[in-house]
Structure 1
Amino acid sequence: MTTSKSTQHTAPKRIVIKLGGSMLEGLNENFFANFKELQAAGNELIIVHGGGLAINKALEKNGVTSTTINGFRVTSAEAISIAQSTLVGQVNPALVHQLNKNGIAAIGLSGYDGNLLACTILDEALYGFVGEIKQVNSALLETLLANGITPVISSISCTNDGTPLNINADTVASKIALAIKAESLQLVTDTPGIKIEGQVQQVVTSSDITYWISSGDIYGGMIPKVTAALDCLAAGIPSIQIVDEQLKGTTILHQEVFA
């Protein structure tokens, strides 16, 4: 019995960290220090990223217009090609380089690699070439984590026939967190948490979020973040945070139910 308890205490905890916004323009020393502290404490970490700013610049350079609906980028056939080349060819390797340079062993992946993200088209009439994740190849991630390597995953994948798909990065992060049974999901953004009437909320519940979405206090790009958080809470992930680069912000919890 003692051995069993000891084994449980030493089992690594898993944290999925999603990077978005201006975070991808250049992470500072505090981020890498915090990251290595989490690793030193025995946590296994996975990074998921989008690249909205870089994609916007590439689209504008190529004269391609883009809109968002419900926080999802409407992705035309022309836009998906640009998004794919930007995320896989530029943003991902730059991020992996930053991590490796700061002493963190990392490897870049997209949904294509090792069939990591099996997808279908979410709603082509509404969103264009945007993916819905049907399955995550968690075995691939398990292998990398077991060897001390941090997976860095871009939010691009494809259908069974190879059609490229853009995927909301918050959704990718939540699906991966669920697949690997993560202890925590951290959504890192340039907004330090959920703001209501200009004030960052330190701790909120799922019912708070549901109310704020209906009231319009939560809107735009924050909707996919909180939706991903609620999905993870409902599936049993204990802790969801929407935080800034200092890893401080809003913690989202289940609504407490009292008898």
Structure 2
Amino acid sequence: MKKIVIKIGGNAATQLTPAFFDTIKYWQKQHYNIVLVHGGGDTISELMSQLNEPVQKINGIRFTTQKGISITKMALLGQVQPALLETCRANGLPVIGLNAESNQLMTGHTIDQDTFGYVGTIHQVNTKLIHSIWQQNLIPIIAPMAITNQGQWLNVNADHAATSIAKYLKADELYLLTDVSGVQIKGNILQKLTSKTMADLQEKQMITGGMIPKVNSALLAARHGVGAVHITNTVTQPGTIVTI
């Protein structure tokens, strides 16, 4: 049974195409097991500005205070995920929304609290819960946050969350959807990207900003045995396939 994890952007509710929904429905008919992980960076930034919380990013990672965590939860669990669930249901997908607190779905720890605040990395995923949802022919839609063993909520990069879920599920494919059709170098989309090429491109500063955590997440997934990792703007095109 093929397992596919797809990371979609926070604005996905308004941007997903009929082709996306048709592809997911086709995969479901093939009895593939699918997980959607959503981002929400723009919504979080917008809400932070409204609530006078400074937006500060370091190497593409959002510095997150305790107030920032509350705002992130409001944005992801109160706005982004409900809108996405509604859109998916309206397009005929059987979906269920999950977050870190759903039966300890994602447990994590801070990356570097002094530098990034309450930003975390995931060290455990409750794969049994996901499997039980698949048995009901449902598609889980997961918010990118984790909780520490002490109960502290953590902000997690959505690409990293999708990568961790793919790793623990031993997924066959991981799609990291973005607003470009792949990793672009001098106007050309790379069909394949290896860790050696990535190191060279980063050194020459040809991969920068938000694409760095995306590619690093993809390489991590490939190293942990995820069959094929795609950086693309649609599930109907392979985009850049990342391998070790």
Matched, 1:176 2:165: yes
| 1:160 CA displacement | 2.3
Matched, 1:250 2:240: yes
Number of equivalences: 243
Q: TM-score, normalised to structure 1's length?
A: 0.89
| 1:15 CA displacement | 0.5
From the CA coordinates, give the structure whose radius of gyration is larger: 1
Q: Distance in 1 between matches of 2:203 and 2:135?
A: 42
| 1:88 CA displacement | 0.8
CA RMSD across the alignment: 1.4
Matched, 1:28 2:20: no
* Deviations, residues 104-148 of structure 1 (Å, cap 9, x unaligned): 111001111110011112211000111121111111001111221
Instruction: Select which of 15, 19, 29 maps to 2:4.
Output: 15
What residue in structure 1 maps to residue 48 of structure 2?
59
Q: Relative to 1, partners in 2 of residues 1:247 and 1:206: Cα closer, same or farther, differing over 3 Å?
A: farther
- SS of the residue corresponding to residue 103 of structure 2 reads helix
* Deviations, residues 146-194 of structure 1 (Å, cap 9, x unaligned): 2211010001222223222110111110110011110010001112110
Q: TM-score, normalised to structure 2's length?
A: 0.94
What residue in structure 2 maps to residue 111 of structure 1?
100
| 1:21 CA displacement | 5.4
What residue in structure 2 maps to residue 196 of structure 1?
185
Instruction: Select which of 70, 76, 88 maps to 2:65.
Output: 76
Matched, 1:39 2:14: no
- SS of the residue corresponding to residue 96 of structure 2 reads strand
> Could you list the runs of 4 or more consecutive aligned residues of structure 1 that deviate by over 4 angstroms after TM superposition?
none
Q: Distance in 1 between matches of 2:132 and 2:183?
A: 35
What residue in structure 2 maps to residue 216 of structure 1?
205
* Deviations, residues 206-227 of structure 1 (Å, cap 9, x unaligned): 3212211222111111111111
Q: Is the 8 A contact 1:99 1:106 kept in 2?
A: yes
Q: Is the 8 A contact 2:12 2:84 kept in 1?
A: no
- SS of the residue corresponding to residue 122 of structure 2 reads strand
Percent identity, please. 36
